[in-house]
Structure 1
């Protein structure tokens, strides 16, 4: 085995499984072509070998492609190799593949789709050569549909991560500015305004960092930190409800990354609205513990906004194969 790190596969399950799948296809092809081949079968054998080589190459770390592109390229080549392998399979193995292909087409096409109706008719009744051609078309249609679903999943994950980065940068800039200029966006409450008692001196402002006459730079840092903790708690609750998947694109992780900075920003905005009296009945925060508790609660409340992303993620996952026990299921 090569010791060159650039020639080794990505140290991730998808790459290792793709390598094993490539070996399995190659050995199956060799077993199927042990005898004399026709010219057409020889061409199919060369196609299988080419796609297997390209699939292995896509899995190696030495390539300059992005990880997501490598994943898609590897499995597309494996799918193409499986399609050409149909031309080489003995009749017994061919018959064994038909039920699986029929199940695949049923997963991606509706029962009244003309392509599915015709494919099922040909696979069940037609001449052997026509059945092989129909099987290859069915496999190609099923693989293309599933590959598109995983490309969509990858794009969605990237959008979530970019949104999380944008919120993080926005929140970080806001926290930095307010920490330097605390009076620009005060996070404090004035209990004396709503609970004034005759002949009692004015009470100091109640801030996230304690009782002060003036806001301090640490106030917004405390609110943002508690909001981030609340966002993380909300992520744990939301991710628990997502259907599990072995896809190499971790949507659950992306959603968790989104909710943490969203929680921090939600807490800052929420405390600002409370201190400004925009929420009737909730403006009388007269001690530090109440402010801290509301900051944490507002961080969890980001779920009301990010729930849209959770629902969209679930919709995409629902269209993916429910059985993902091998590499083919990941992008098929």
Structure 2
């Protein structure tokens, strides 16, 4: 049975939970119980593959099965009843995952209740819980998500080729472009970024051959974003890249922020740790674009959000709005 996430339902008979955060830089998993929350955590640094059918459910399941076996042994949990999978790209690339992953989890671990959530939803819940507001999830990619009783709203999150403007891959790509401009002697280049790029990747003439064939291109691009931040003090090109990223992030936040009252607005994800070089211009851009919003610190990260959704789902108390592409629940014989 598939249903919206808003119906509380009934508690799951088996207390064990699995919570997953699958993004552009890898996969993290937690095992715990509905009563005690997270008990053990593992991660894989290999991003789940995306192929002709979208997110590859077999690749995700192979990674997850290994992690879950290790985690259940570590936590001393014998039965799992509920899983929540937060996955980057679920909204647009998740058809195969929605069709196949719940059955695979049921066959492998006896899990009878599976929540499938866009990583933006788990980021939102980790940052703000179930309160109305808006969250900018800024990691390898970039998506803004807003929620109020009427449902979810999203902006960007279209991937590193078509969007994710202001995200880690976007910043890293812009920084490498500036490095290549300096290498060529074209306007708009940065000698500082060129030096850092050569330290990180070797001679620039070989960069396309090292980058383009890799299946983890977004993560590789995002790995250069901290170098852009490190150059920003005293390098006008690097500083302008981060200002443009902040402007893109604020534009997406403005598109999803609830219209009424003074909604909370939080930033979560790896870019929230990049320091003042990004966070200062971001705060300034947000104050201009969404002056009614109250900027608050994120309470937790996307994995924390997946854990909270899993606990609520196992307890039959999940009240978040359901959405066919953003947050849905599949139940089977494991209830």
TM-score scaled to structure 2, two decimals?
A: 0.27
Higher relative contact order (CA 8 A, sep 6+): 2
User: Of the two, which has the highest radius of gyration?
Assistant: 1
Greater per-residue strand proportion? 2
